[in-house]
Structure 1
Amino acid sequence: MTQTLFPPPELPVVPVKGETAGFPLRRIFCVGRNYAAHAAEMGAQVEREAPFYFTKSAFAYVASGETVPYAPGTGDLHYEMELAIAIGAPVFRATPAEAEQAIYGYCCALDMTRRDLQAQFKDKRLSWDLGKDFENSAVVAPITKAGDFGAVAGQRIHLEVDGASRQDSHLSDMVWKVGELVSHLSHYYHLAPGDLILTGTPSGVGPVVAGNVLTGGIDGLDPIELTIAPAE
Protein backbone atom coordinates (compact mmCIF):
# COMPACT_ATOMS: atom_id res chain seq x y z
CA MET A 1 0.00 0.00 0.00
CA THR A 2 1.37 3.42 -0.96
CA GLN A 3 2.01 5.73 1.95
CA THR A 4 0.51 9.21 1.85
CA LEU A 5 2.16 12.49 2.82
CA PHE A 6 -0.80 13.36 5.03
CA PRO A 7 -3.96 11.52 6.10
CA PRO A 8 -6.47 11.44 3.23
CA PRO A 9 -9.83 13.03 4.05
CA GLU A 10 -12.68 10.70 4.89
CA LEU A 11 -15.70 10.76 2.58
CA PRO A 12 -18.72 12.64 3.94
CA VAL A 13 -21.49 10.31 5.14
CA VAL A 14 -25.19 11.13 4.68
CA PRO A 15 -27.58 9.73 7.33
CA VAL A 16 -30.16 7.19 6.17
CA LYS A 17 -33.58 7.17 7.81
CA GLY A 18 -34.07 4.05 9.92
CA GLU A 19 -30.43 2.92 9.62
CA THR A 20 -27.45 3.23 11.94
CA ALA A 21 -25.08 3.06 8.95
CA GLY A 22 -24.81 6.04 6.61
CA PHE A 23 -24.41 6.60 2.86
CA PRO A 24 -20.76 7.45 2.00
CA LEU A 25 -20.89 10.28 -0.51
CA ARG A 26 -18.73 9.56 -3.58
CA ARG A 27 -19.72 12.06 -6.30
CA ILE A 28 -22.41 14.70 -6.81
CA PHE A 29 -23.99 15.23 -10.23
CA CYS A 30 -26.49 18.07 -10.75
CA VAL A 31 -29.07 18.34 -13.53
CA GLY A 32 -29.58 21.75 -15.12
CA ARG A 33 -32.89 23.19 -16.34
CA ASN A 34 -35.10 20.26 -15.43
CA TYR A 35 -38.14 22.45 -14.72
CA ALA A 36 -39.38 24.55 -17.65
CA ALA A 37 -40.52 27.45 -15.44
CA HIS A 38 -37.10 27.71 -13.79
CA ALA A 39 -35.34 27.63 -17.16
CA ALA A 40 -37.59 30.48 -18.28
CA GLU A 41 -36.89 32.60 -15.20
CA MET A 42 -33.17 32.20 -15.90
CA GLY A 43 -33.66 33.38 -19.48
CA ALA A 44 -33.04 29.94 -20.97
CA GLN A 45 -34.95 27.11 -22.59
CA VAL A 46 -35.21 23.49 -21.54
CA GLU A 47 -32.73 21.25 -23.35
CA ARG A 48 -35.31 18.74 -24.64
CA GLU A 49 -32.89 16.66 -26.70
CA ALA A 50 -31.01 15.47 -23.62
CA PRO A 51 -30.39 16.54 -20.01
CA PHE A 52 -27.19 18.36 -19.15
CA TYR A 53 -25.16 18.35 -15.95
CA PHE A 54 -22.63 20.05 -13.77
CA THR A 55 -20.84 18.55 -10.78
CA LYS A 56 -19.98 19.34 -7.20
CA SER A 57 -17.27 17.79 -5.07
CA ALA A 58 -18.42 15.42 -2.36
CA PHE A 59 -16.68 17.81 0.00
CA ALA A 60 -19.19 20.53 -0.87
CA TYR A 61 -21.56 18.52 1.37
CA VAL A 62 -23.11 20.01 4.48
CA ALA A 63 -25.74 18.27 6.57
CA SER A 64 -29.25 19.62 6.90
CA GLY A 65 -29.71 21.64 10.08
CA GLU A 66 -26.26 23.22 10.01
CA THR A 67 -25.31 26.90 10.16
CA VAL A 68 -22.84 27.96 7.46
CA PRO A 69 -21.15 31.29 6.68
CA TYR A 70 -22.27 33.32 3.69
CA ALA A 71 -20.16 32.00 0.80
CA PRO A 72 -16.94 33.90 -0.01
CA GLY A 73 -16.46 35.66 -3.31
CA THR A 74 -20.11 36.47 -4.00
CA GLY A 75 -22.70 39.13 -3.32
CA ASP A 76 -25.59 37.08 -4.72
CA LEU A 77 -25.87 33.69 -3.01
CA HIS A 78 -28.99 31.78 -4.15
CA TYR A 79 -30.91 28.72 -2.95
CA GLU A 80 -32.20 25.96 -5.26
CA MET A 81 -34.43 23.31 -3.68
CA GLU A 82 -34.11 19.85 -5.28
CA LEU A 83 -34.92 16.15 -5.12
CA ALA A 84 -31.73 14.07 -4.90
CA ILE A 85 -31.31 10.47 -6.07
CA ALA A 86 -28.95 8.22 -4.09
CA ILE A 87 -27.39 5.44 -6.18
CA GLY A 88 -26.99 2.11 -4.41
CA ALA A 89 -25.76 -0.31 -7.10
CA PRO A 90 -23.39 -0.19 -10.08
CA VAL A 91 -25.15 1.01 -13.24
CA PHE A 92 -23.68 1.47 -16.70
CA ARG A 93 -25.45 1.89 -20.06
CA ALA A 94 -28.76 1.08 -18.44
CA THR A 95 -32.30 1.44 -19.71
CA PRO A 96 -34.58 3.68 -17.61
CA ALA A 97 -36.18 0.58 -16.05
CA GLU A 98 -32.77 -0.91 -15.21
CA ALA A 99 -31.60 2.45 -13.89
CA GLU A 100 -34.50 2.70 -11.45
CA GLN A 101 -33.42 -0.62 -9.91
CA ALA A 102 -30.08 0.99 -8.98
CA ILE A 103 -31.72 3.76 -6.94
CA TYR A 104 -31.12 3.27 -3.21
CA GLY A 105 -33.20 6.20 -2.03
CA TYR A 106 -34.17 9.84 -2.25
CA CYS A 107 -33.65 12.97 -0.18
CA CYS A 108 -34.11 16.73 -0.11
CA ALA A 109 -31.14 18.83 -1.17
CA LEU A 110 -30.15 22.46 -1.68
CA ASP A 111 -27.90 23.47 -4.58
CA MET A 112 -26.48 26.73 -3.23
CA THR A 113 -25.24 28.93 -6.07
CA ARG A 114 -23.01 31.99 -6.40
CA ARG A 115 -25.38 33.43 -8.99
CA ASP A 116 -23.31 36.48 -9.89
CA LEU A 117 -20.30 34.31 -10.70
CA GLN A 118 -22.41 31.80 -12.60
CA ALA A 119 -23.88 34.62 -14.71
CA GLN A 120 -20.44 36.05 -15.49
CA PHE A 121 -19.18 32.68 -16.68
CA LYS A 122 -22.32 31.94 -18.69
CA ASP A 123 -21.93 35.25 -20.52
CA LYS A 124 -18.35 34.32 -21.42
CA ARG A 125 -19.24 30.68 -22.23
CA LEU A 126 -16.92 29.48 -19.48
CA SER A 127 -17.27 26.76 -16.84
CA TRP A 128 -19.72 27.30 -13.99
CA ASP A 129 -17.41 25.72 -11.40
CA LEU A 130 -16.80 28.79 -9.21
CA GLY A 131 -20.52 29.53 -9.25
CA LYS A 132 -21.62 26.03 -8.31
CA ASP A 133 -18.87 23.95 -6.69
CA PHE A 134 -17.75 25.46 -3.40
CA GLU A 135 -17.71 24.63 0.31
CA ASN A 136 -21.15 24.14 1.88
CA SER A 137 -22.90 24.38 -1.49
CA ALA A 138 -24.51 20.91 -1.39
CA VAL A 139 -26.91 20.74 1.55
CA VAL A 140 -28.32 17.24 1.96
CA ALA A 141 -31.05 15.92 4.25
CA PRO A 142 -31.23 12.29 5.47
CA ILE A 143 -31.96 9.71 2.78
CA THR A 144 -35.22 7.76 2.68
CA LYS A 145 -35.01 4.33 1.05
CA ALA A 146 -36.71 4.08 -2.33
CA GLY A 147 -39.08 1.37 -1.14
CA ASP A 148 -40.25 3.55 1.74
CA PHE A 149 -40.76 6.59 -0.50
CA GLY A 150 -42.50 4.92 -3.42
CA ALA A 151 -42.71 6.18 -6.97
CA VAL A 152 -41.62 9.71 -7.83
CA ALA A 153 -44.85 11.25 -9.12
CA GLY A 154 -46.71 14.39 -8.10
CA GLN A 155 -45.17 14.99 -4.68
CA ARG A 156 -45.01 18.62 -3.62
CA ILE A 157 -41.56 20.27 -3.48
CA HIS A 158 -41.24 23.59 -1.65
CA LEU A 159 -38.86 25.99 0.06
CA GLU A 160 -39.34 28.84 2.52
CA VAL A 161 -37.00 31.63 3.63
CA ASP A 162 -37.72 32.82 7.18
CA GLY A 163 -41.12 31.15 6.85
CA ALA A 164 -42.11 32.92 3.63
CA SER A 165 -42.81 30.73 0.60
CA ARG A 166 -40.28 31.05 -2.21
CA GLN A 167 -40.56 27.81 -4.22
CA ASP A 168 -43.66 25.62 -4.54
CA SER A 169 -44.09 23.02 -7.26
CA HIS A 170 -44.50 19.28 -7.85
CA LEU A 171 -42.06 16.57 -8.92
CA SER A 172 -44.34 15.80 -11.85
CA ASP A 173 -43.14 19.11 -13.35
CA MET A 174 -39.67 17.68 -13.97
CA VAL A 175 -38.87 17.48 -17.68
CA TRP A 176 -36.64 14.40 -17.26
CA LYS A 177 -37.87 11.71 -14.86
CA VAL A 178 -35.61 9.90 -12.42
CA GLY A 179 -35.18 6.72 -14.46
CA GLU A 180 -34.41 8.74 -17.58
CA LEU A 181 -31.80 10.81 -15.76
CA VAL A 182 -29.98 7.85 -14.22
CA SER A 183 -30.12 5.97 -17.54
CA HIS A 184 -28.78 8.90 -19.55
CA LEU A 185 -25.97 9.64 -17.09
CA SER A 186 -25.02 5.95 -17.01
CA HIS A 187 -24.07 6.17 -20.68
CA TYR A 188 -21.29 8.62 -19.76
CA TYR A 189 -20.17 7.34 -16.33
CA HIS A 190 -19.93 4.06 -14.49
CA LEU A 191 -22.32 5.11 -11.74
CA ALA A 192 -21.73 3.39 -8.42
CA PRO A 193 -22.95 3.27 -4.82
CA GLY A 194 -22.32 6.63 -3.17
CA ASP A 195 -23.18 8.74 -6.21
CA LEU A 196 -25.83 11.43 -5.64
CA ILE A 197 -27.81 13.09 -8.44
CA LEU A 198 -29.58 16.41 -7.79
CA THR A 199 -32.49 16.58 -10.23
CA GLY A 200 -32.98 20.31 -10.77
CA THR A 201 -34.97 23.07 -9.13
CA PRO A 202 -38.42 24.61 -9.70
CA SER A 203 -38.95 28.30 -10.34
CA GLY A 204 -38.70 30.82 -7.52
CA VAL A 205 -34.95 30.78 -6.86
CA GLY A 206 -33.57 33.86 -5.17
CA PRO A 207 -30.93 35.38 -2.91
CA VAL A 208 -30.23 34.88 0.77
CA VAL A 209 -28.53 37.14 3.32
CA ALA A 210 -26.87 36.49 6.65
CA GLY A 211 -29.45 35.58 9.27
CA ASN A 212 -31.84 33.84 6.87
CA VAL A 213 -33.17 30.40 7.78
CA LEU A 214 -34.05 28.18 4.82
CA THR A 215 -36.55 25.36 5.28
CA GLY A 216 -37.85 23.07 2.58
CA GLY A 217 -39.46 19.74 1.93
CA ILE A 218 -40.76 17.11 -0.43
CA ASP A 219 -43.80 15.05 0.51
CA GLY A 220 -42.64 11.77 2.03
CA LEU A 221 -39.02 12.81 2.72
CA ASP A 222 -37.25 14.30 5.72
CA PRO A 223 -37.29 18.11 5.48
CA ILE A 224 -34.20 20.26 4.99
CA GLU A 225 -32.97 23.31 6.89
CA LEU A 226 -30.01 25.68 6.60
CA THR A 227 -29.08 28.85 8.52
CA ILE A 228 -26.90 31.50 6.84
CA ALA A 229 -24.35 33.14 9.13
CA PRO A 230 -22.28 36.25 8.36
CA ALA A 231 -19.37 35.84 5.94
CA GLU A 232 -16.03 34.89 7.42
Structure 2
Amino acid sequence: MSDFVFSPPPLASLSVRGSRARFPVRRIYCVGRNYSDHIREMGGDPDREIPFFFQKPTDSIVENGSRIPYPLFTSDFQHEVELLIAIGKEGADIRLDEALDHVFGVGVCIDLTRRDVQVEARKTGRPWEIGKSFDESAPCSELVPVTSAEFPESGAIELRVNDQTRQHGDLRQMIWSSAEVIQQLSTQYRLMPGDLIMTGTPAGVGPLTPGDRVLATIEGIGSLEIEIVQEER
Protein backbone atom coordinates (compact mmCIF):
# COMPACT_ATOMS: atom_id res chain seq x y z
CA MET A 1 0.00 0.00 0.00
CA SER A 2 1.32 3.46 -0.92
CA ASP A 3 2.20 5.95 1.77
CA PHE A 4 0.68 9.43 1.83
CA VAL A 5 2.21 12.69 3.02
CA PHE A 6 -0.78 12.95 5.39
CA SER A 7 -3.76 10.73 6.18
CA PRO A 8 -6.35 10.88 3.37
CA PRO A 9 -9.80 12.19 4.29
CA PRO A 10 -12.47 9.60 5.12
CA LEU A 11 -14.67 8.35 2.30
CA ALA A 12 -18.08 10.04 2.33
CA SER A 13 -20.93 7.56 2.75
CA LEU A 14 -24.60 7.28 3.69
CA SER A 15 -26.45 4.74 5.78
CA VAL A 16 -28.83 2.32 4.06
CA ARG A 17 -32.16 1.35 5.57
CA GLY A 18 -32.22 -2.27 6.64
CA SER A 19 -28.48 -2.81 6.17
CA ARG A 20 -25.30 -2.46 8.19
CA ALA A 21 -23.40 -1.73 4.96
CA ARG A 22 -23.05 1.91 3.89
CA PHE A 23 -23.34 3.54 0.45
CA PRO A 24 -19.97 5.05 -0.61
CA VAL A 25 -20.38 8.43 -2.32
CA ARG A 26 -18.42 9.23 -5.48
CA ARG A 27 -19.99 12.46 -6.76
CA ILE A 28 -22.98 14.69 -5.99
CA TYR A 29 -24.85 16.09 -9.01
CA CYS A 30 -27.61 18.68 -8.60
CA VAL A 31 -30.37 19.67 -11.03
CA GLY A 32 -31.16 23.36 -11.35
CA ARG A 33 -34.74 24.66 -11.66
CA ASN A 34 -36.81 21.48 -11.92
CA TYR A 35 -40.11 22.73 -10.44
CA SER A 36 -41.97 25.44 -12.35
CA ASP A 37 -43.29 27.20 -9.23
CA HIS A 38 -39.74 27.51 -7.88
CA ILE A 39 -38.50 28.89 -11.20
CA ARG A 40 -41.23 31.56 -11.06
CA GLU A 41 -40.42 32.54 -7.48
CA MET A 42 -36.80 33.02 -8.53
CA GLY A 43 -37.87 35.26 -11.42
CA GLY A 44 -37.23 32.75 -14.20
CA ASP A 45 -39.17 31.32 -17.15
CA PRO A 46 -40.57 27.83 -16.44
CA ASP A 47 -40.48 26.65 -20.06
CA ARG A 48 -39.20 23.09 -20.32
CA GLU A 49 -35.60 23.63 -21.37
CA ILE A 50 -32.84 21.03 -21.26
CA PRO A 51 -31.93 20.58 -17.57
CA PHE A 52 -28.60 21.92 -16.34
CA PHE A 53 -26.42 20.44 -13.64
CA PHE A 54 -23.87 21.53 -11.07
CA GLN A 55 -21.97 19.61 -8.39
CA LYS A 56 -21.32 19.71 -4.67
CA PRO A 57 -18.21 18.22 -3.03
CA THR A 58 -18.72 14.84 -1.39
CA ASP A 59 -17.34 16.12 1.90
CA SER A 60 -20.26 18.59 2.10
CA ILE A 61 -22.53 15.68 3.13
CA VAL A 62 -23.99 15.76 6.63
CA GLU A 63 -26.35 13.13 7.97
CA ASN A 64 -29.68 13.09 9.74
CA GLY A 65 -29.73 14.83 13.11
CA SER A 66 -26.71 17.03 12.42
CA ARG A 67 -26.13 20.50 13.86
CA ILE A 68 -24.99 22.71 11.00
CA PRO A 69 -23.09 25.95 11.65
CA TYR A 70 -24.39 29.05 9.90
CA PRO A 71 -21.89 29.31 7.02
CA LEU A 72 -19.24 31.89 6.30
CA PHE A 73 -19.60 34.56 3.61
CA THR A 74 -23.40 34.96 3.54
CA SER A 75 -26.27 36.85 5.11
CA ASP A 76 -28.97 34.95 3.17
CA PHE A 77 -28.63 31.23 3.93
CA GLN A 78 -31.53 29.27 2.40
CA HIS A 79 -33.09 25.79 2.31
CA GLU A 80 -34.20 23.68 -0.69
CA VAL A 81 -35.75 20.25 0.00
CA GLU A 82 -35.19 17.68 -2.74
CA LEU A 83 -35.57 14.02 -3.70
CA LEU A 84 -32.19 12.29 -3.59
CA ILE A 85 -31.34 9.53 -6.09
CA ALA A 86 -28.45 7.12 -5.49
CA ILE A 87 -26.95 5.43 -8.55
CA GLY A 88 -25.99 1.78 -8.25
CA LYS A 89 -25.18 0.78 -11.84
CA GLU A 90 -22.71 2.30 -14.31
CA GLY A 91 -23.95 3.84 -17.53
CA ALA A 92 -23.49 6.52 -20.19
CA ASP A 93 -26.02 7.64 -22.83
CA ILE A 94 -28.61 5.66 -20.90
CA ARG A 95 -31.90 4.96 -22.64
CA LEU A 96 -34.90 6.63 -21.01
CA ASP A 97 -36.75 3.34 -20.57
CA GLU A 98 -33.71 1.88 -18.77
CA ALA A 99 -32.82 4.90 -16.60
CA LEU A 100 -34.48 3.72 -13.39
CA ASP A 101 -32.68 0.36 -13.65
CA HIS A 102 -29.52 2.28 -12.70
CA VAL A 103 -30.96 3.42 -9.35
CA PHE A 104 -29.84 1.88 -6.08
CA GLY A 105 -32.12 3.86 -3.82
CA VAL A 106 -33.71 7.16 -2.87
CA GLY A 107 -33.68 9.54 0.06
CA VAL A 108 -34.40 13.06 1.27
CA CYS A 109 -31.86 15.87 0.96
CA ILE A 110 -31.58 19.62 1.42
CA ASP A 111 -29.62 21.75 -1.02
CA LEU A 112 -28.37 24.46 1.35
CA THR A 113 -27.61 27.67 -0.54
CA ARG A 114 -25.83 30.96 0.07
CA ARG A 115 -28.49 32.78 -1.96
CA ASP A 116 -26.98 36.25 -1.89
CA VAL A 117 -23.65 34.90 -3.12
CA GLN A 118 -25.33 32.80 -5.81
CA VAL A 119 -27.44 35.70 -7.09
CA GLU A 120 -24.49 38.09 -7.23
CA ALA A 121 -22.41 35.56 -9.17
CA ARG A 122 -25.27 35.00 -11.59
CA LYS A 123 -25.69 38.76 -12.17
CA THR A 124 -22.02 39.16 -13.03
CA GLY A 125 -21.93 36.07 -15.27
CA ARG A 126 -19.55 34.21 -12.99
CA PRO A 127 -19.91 30.56 -11.96
CA TRP A 128 -22.22 30.35 -8.94
CA GLU A 129 -20.64 27.25 -7.44
CA ILE A 130 -19.59 29.38 -4.45
CA GLY A 131 -23.27 29.82 -3.60
CA LYS A 132 -23.96 26.07 -3.65
CA SER A 133 -20.78 24.07 -3.03
CA PHE A 134 -19.56 24.95 0.45
CA ASP A 135 -18.91 23.15 3.72
CA GLU A 136 -21.86 21.12 5.10
CA SER A 137 -24.16 22.21 2.26
CA ALA A 138 -25.60 18.75 1.51
CA PRO A 139 -27.64 17.24 4.35
CA CYS A 140 -28.87 13.76 3.33
CA SER A 141 -31.10 11.15 4.93
CA GLU A 142 -30.50 7.43 4.92
CA LEU A 143 -31.05 5.73 1.57
CA VAL A 144 -34.02 3.49 0.88
CA PRO A 145 -33.25 0.75 -1.70
CA VAL A 146 -35.82 0.62 -4.52
CA THR A 147 -36.35 -1.31 -7.73
CA SER A 148 -37.39 0.44 -10.93
CA ALA A 149 -40.94 -0.81 -10.37
CA GLU A 150 -40.98 0.70 -6.86
CA PHE A 151 -39.49 4.06 -7.81
CA PRO A 152 -41.55 6.98 -6.37
CA GLU A 153 -42.96 9.07 -9.22
CA SER A 154 -45.31 10.97 -6.90
CA GLY A 155 -45.67 11.82 -3.23
CA ALA A 156 -45.75 14.90 -1.03
CA ILE A 157 -42.43 16.70 -0.52
CA GLU A 158 -42.29 19.17 2.36
CA LEU A 159 -39.94 21.24 4.49
CA ARG A 160 -40.81 22.76 7.86
CA VAL A 161 -38.81 25.27 9.89
CA ASN A 162 -39.64 25.43 13.61
CA ASP A 163 -42.86 23.48 12.89
CA GLN A 164 -43.99 25.99 10.25
CA THR A 165 -44.42 24.74 6.67
CA ARG A 166 -42.12 26.56 4.25
CA GLN A 167 -42.13 24.25 1.20
CA HIS A 168 -44.85 21.87 0.05
CA GLY A 169 -45.26 20.15 -3.30
CA ASP A 170 -45.46 16.77 -4.98
CA LEU A 171 -42.82 14.79 -6.86
CA ARG A 172 -45.19 14.64 -9.84
CA GLN A 173 -44.63 18.41 -10.28
CA MET A 174 -41.05 17.90 -11.42
CA ILE A 175 -40.55 19.40 -14.90
CA TRP A 176 -38.10 16.62 -15.74
CA SER A 177 -38.95 13.24 -14.23
CA SER A 178 -36.31 11.30 -12.33
CA ALA A 179 -35.83 8.98 -15.30
CA GLU A 180 -35.38 11.96 -17.63
CA VAL A 181 -32.88 13.56 -15.25
CA ILE A 182 -30.80 10.37 -15.18
CA GLN A 183 -31.00 10.01 -18.96
CA GLN A 184 -29.98 13.64 -19.59
CA LEU A 185 -27.16 13.58 -17.02
CA SER A 186 -25.78 10.38 -18.55
CA THR A 187 -25.26 12.19 -21.87
CA GLN A 188 -22.81 14.54 -20.11
CA TYR A 189 -21.11 12.22 -17.61
CA ARG A 190 -20.61 8.48 -17.24
CA LEU A 191 -22.67 7.68 -14.18
CA MET A 192 -21.05 5.34 -11.71
CA PRO A 193 -22.11 3.44 -8.59
CA GLY A 194 -21.80 5.90 -5.72
CA ASP A 195 -23.13 8.92 -7.58
CA LEU A 196 -25.91 10.96 -5.96
CA ILE A 197 -28.39 13.21 -7.77
CA MET A 198 -30.33 16.01 -6.10
CA THR A 199 -33.38 16.46 -8.33
CA GLY A 200 -34.62 20.02 -7.70
CA THR A 201 -36.88 21.80 -5.23
CA PRO A 202 -40.48 23.09 -5.13
CA ALA A 203 -41.42 26.69 -4.30
CA GLY A 204 -41.09 28.19 -0.84
CA VAL A 205 -37.33 28.41 -0.45
CA GLY A 206 -36.38 30.83 2.28
CA PRO A 207 -33.85 31.96 4.90
CA LEU A 208 -32.46 30.04 7.83
CA THR A 209 -31.02 31.51 11.01
CA PRO A 210 -29.19 30.07 14.03
CA GLY A 211 -31.61 28.22 16.28
CA ASP A 212 -33.82 27.02 13.41
CA ARG A 213 -34.92 23.38 13.51
CA VAL A 214 -35.54 22.01 10.02
CA LEU A 215 -37.58 18.92 9.12
CA ALA A 216 -37.67 17.72 5.49
CA THR A 217 -39.95 14.85 4.48
CA ILE A 218 -40.98 12.97 1.34
CA GLU A 219 -44.06 10.78 1.50
CA GLY A 220 -43.24 7.08 1.42
CA ILE A 221 -39.47 7.66 1.66
CA GLY A 222 -38.56 9.23 4.96
CA SER A 223 -37.40 12.35 6.73
CA LEU A 224 -34.33 14.43 7.49
CA GLU A 225 -33.80 16.71 10.50
CA ILE A 226 -31.09 19.31 11.01
CA GLU A 227 -30.52 22.26 13.33
CA ILE A 228 -28.78 25.51 12.38
CA VAL A 229 -26.39 26.77 15.02
CA GLN A 230 -24.14 29.79 15.52
CA GLU A 231 -20.54 28.63 15.64
CA GLU A 232 -17.86 30.74 17.21
CA ARG A 233 -15.14 31.48 14.64
TM-score, normalised by the number of residues in structure 1: 0.97
Distance 1:134 1:213 in 2: 20
CA–CA distance in structure 2, aligned partners of residues 32 and 47 of structure 1: 13
Contact kept, 8 Å, 1:149 with 1:221, in 2: the verdict is: no
State whether structure 2 residue 70 is matched by structure 1 residue 53.
Answer: no
Aligned to 1:221: 221
The AA in structure 2 aligned to 1:54 is: F
Residue equivalent to 1:158: 158
Is the contact between residue 68 and residue 228 of structure 2 (CA under 8 Å) also seen in structure 1?
Answer: yes
Q: How does 1:184-203 map to 2 (within 5 A)?
A: 184-203=184-203
Deviations 1:104-130, CA, capped at 9 Å, x for gaps:
010000000000100100101111111
Identity of aligned residues (%): 38
The correspondence of residues 34-49 of structure 1 with structure 2, limited to 5 A, is: 34-46=34-46, 48-49=48-49
Q: Which residue of 1 aligns with 2:114?
A: 114
**CA-atom RMSD, angstroms?**
1.4
Range with greater deviation from structure 2 (199-208 or 142-151)? 142-151
Residues of 2 paired with 1:118 and 1:45: CA distance?
18
More divergent stretch after superposition (126-135 vs 43-52): 43-52
Determine if contact 1:106/1:149 at 8 Å carries over to the other structure.
no
User: Do residues 142 (structure 1) and 142 (structure 2) align?
Assistant: yes
For 1:210, give the aligned amino acid.
P
SS at match of 2:216: strand
Q: What residue in structure 1 maps to residue 123 of structure 2?
A: 123
Matching residue of 1:68:
68
State the alpha-carbon separation in 2 of the partners of residues 18 and 219 from structure 1. 18
Q: Decide whether the 8 Å contact of 2:103 with 2:148 is kept in 1.
A: no
The Cα shift of 1:147 comes to 3.2
1:105 aligns with 2:105: yes
- CA offset at residue 148 of structure 1? 9.8
Q: How far 1:46 moved relative to its partner? A: 3.1
Mapped to 2, the partners of 1:138 and 1:46 lie a distance apart of: 25
Change (3 A) 1:149 1:166: farther
Q: Give the CA deviation at 1:151.
A: 2.9
Residue 103 of structure 2 contacts residue 147 of structure 2 at CA under 8 Å; is this kept in 1? no
Residue by residue over 1:119-142, the C-alpha shift from the partner in whole angstroms, topping out at 9 and shown as x without a partner, is 100101111111000111000000
Shift of 1:3: 3.2
Indicate the SS of the match to 1:167. strand
Task: Render the CA deviation track for 1:11-42: whole Å, top value 9, x for unaligned.
Answer: 11100000100101110000000000000000
Contact (CA 8 Å) 2:161, 2:215: kept in 1 or not? yes
* Count of matched residue positions in the alignment of Structure 1 and Structure 2: 232
Structure 1 unaligned regions, length at least 5? none
**Structure 2 CA distance for partners of 1:54 and 1:47, relative to 1, 3 Å:** farther
Structure 1 partner of 2:87: 87
- Distance across 2 between alignment mates of 1:25 and 1:47: 32
CA distance in 1, matches of 2:65, 2:136: 12
Q: Separation in 2 of the partners of 1:2 and 1:216?
A: 42
- Report the alpha carbon displacement of residue 47 of structure 1 after superposing the two structures with TM: 5.5
In the alignment, the residues of structure 2 paired with residue 210 and residue 134 of structure 1 have an alpha-carbon distance, to the nearest angstrom, of 17
Q: 1:121, 1:127 within 8 Å by CA — same for their partners in 2?
A: yes
